[in-house]
Structure 1
Amino acid sequence: MLSRAPTAIVGEEHTNADHHAIELWLLQNMVKKRPQGSVLLEMLTPDQQPAVDRVKQALHDGAAMREPRIQEALRWNAGWPWTLYGALLMTALKADYPLLAANITRERIGEIYQNPVFPGG
């Protein structure tokens, strides 16, 4: 059973609304089955983490923030359509567990392409 797993990695076809609905359902319901450690999202990069932490704290403290303001505060990448990712992100922002960036910046990707490091062998 998924709720017994210590780690759950969930992915989606980025344009499939049904996949996003399943992800949201999991996020809303796994917490009912077991404590959550943290949620990591591919849509967030490390440079956004301070803003994520600020928005999360503000929402926890009772601040009323509309979604367009949250998108602006997070410098949300429009390449991840809010219509597909917004509900998932808002749920994670309002939850008691940490929300962490799981992607890397475009600059870091460029550095890796310029200077790739391959495993020995």
Structure 2
Amino acid sequence: MAVPGEDEYRALRVAAGLSAMSSEGARLGLPASWCSVCLRHGGELVGMGRVVGDGGLFLFVVDIAVTPAWQGRGLGRRIMQALMDEVHSRAPARTMVGLIADGTAHKLYEKFGFRLVGPGAQGMLLRL
């Protein structure tokens, strides 16, 4: 499991169009990843993804990000495949695996078995 460094993590999220995260949050959160994938080119972080959660009941896919110069090359799919391989090999049966899909990203996640939950349920988020 490769976990990105705090600064490169924060920079890649912003470059990929995801929301900015705090230094303190990255320092505390990254080491607590259940699993993580980092794609590098010449040592530079160009893509990443993580799964967080308790490892038995609930897992959440987060931080699927690819730097713009590397988008459109199937890297997001490779990141998801690696994460889902880990989920299927380590998580117990009946574990609930969730995510929040921005924009049209749900099309990628559907390829891995994820389904939209609306209208029966709605995702909710509280940002501090």
TM-score, length of structure 1 as denominator length? 0.33
Q: Which has the larger radius of gyration?
A: 1
- Greater helix share, 1 or 2? 1
Judging by fraction of residues, say which structure has more strand: 2
Q: TM-score, normalised by structure 2?
A: 0.32
